[in-house]
Every structure is written in structure tokens, then in C-alpha cells.
Amino acid sequence: MTNLEKYKAALDQAYTESVDKTLSNLRDGIKEVEGDLLAPNLAEDEVQAYEDEIEMLQSLLVASQNHKFFLEQEMPSDYVIPKLQEKFTPEELDTMLELVQSELYNNFFSVTMNLEQEYSNQLEQQVDEYMENLYSGKGH
């Protein structure tokens, strides 16, 4: 496995695990608040607050599920690696990927982080547009 293949696998795995963890945490949060809602003797404003929180968490869950859907269409490495290949020769890229374990990777790390953020922003924009279309009646 080349350094680039190792990087691709690690990047995609880390991003996928992060999204999966977010989905799991949101599902757990919804269950917890739904449990709180079952408590006896809740005042009307407490019930409303719990219902509002559930609604917000469910909205975040839908957005995160859409994030996962778009992630499955284009993994971070599908976006990041071609951009890196534009910026660096194959030899430079291979050398930098080898050096990622050392202290000499600051430039590469900075470029990579910027590209990952760019990808994340693009993905969020796609999700936002999808959600906007969904709620405005233009969705699928």
C-alpha cells in the first residue's frame, strides 16, 4: 500500500467515524429527552421545552443523515487528494506523506487541513441546499 493509499484510507475512515459518531450521539440524545418527557408531573412549559429540544435534535439528525448521504457520494479523499496532486508532484506528495509522522509536515498539514475544511464547507452547503429544497417543497 502506497503512502497515498494509506492517507486516503485514514482520511476517509476518520471522517466517516466522525459522522457516524454524530449520528449515534444525536439518536441517543433524542432517546434521552424522550425519556425525560415521560417524567410525571411535568409543567406545561417543561413539556414544551422537551418537545422543542426533541424537534431540534431531530432536525440535526436529518441534517446529519443527509451529510452521511453526501459523504457516501463523495468521500473526503475524492476531493482532497486531487487538490493535493495539483499542488505537489507525486514525489513531493510521497515524501510529505512519509514525513507526516515527523515534525517536518507543517506545510503539508496546513494545506491538508485547509482542503478538508473546504470539503466540509462544501458538504455543509450541499446539505443546507438539500434541506432548504426539502422544506420548500422542491425536494426529492
> Angle CA(60)–CA(64)–CA(66) in degrees, nearest 5?
120
- Helical H segments across 38-89, by residue range: 44-73, 76-87
Confidence of residue 27 (pLDDT cuts 50, 70, 90): very high
Average pLDDT value for residue range 111-126: 81
Q: Write out pLDDT tens, residues 77-95.
A: 898 889 999 999 999 888 8
b/e per residue, 59-84, with b = 16+ CB within 10 A? ebbbbbebbeebbeeebbbebbbeeb
Average pLDDT value for residue range 1-21: 85
* Residue whose C-alpha is closest to residue 60's, from 17, 28, 99, 103: 28
**Cell (9 digits) for 53:** 429540544
The pTM score is 0.64
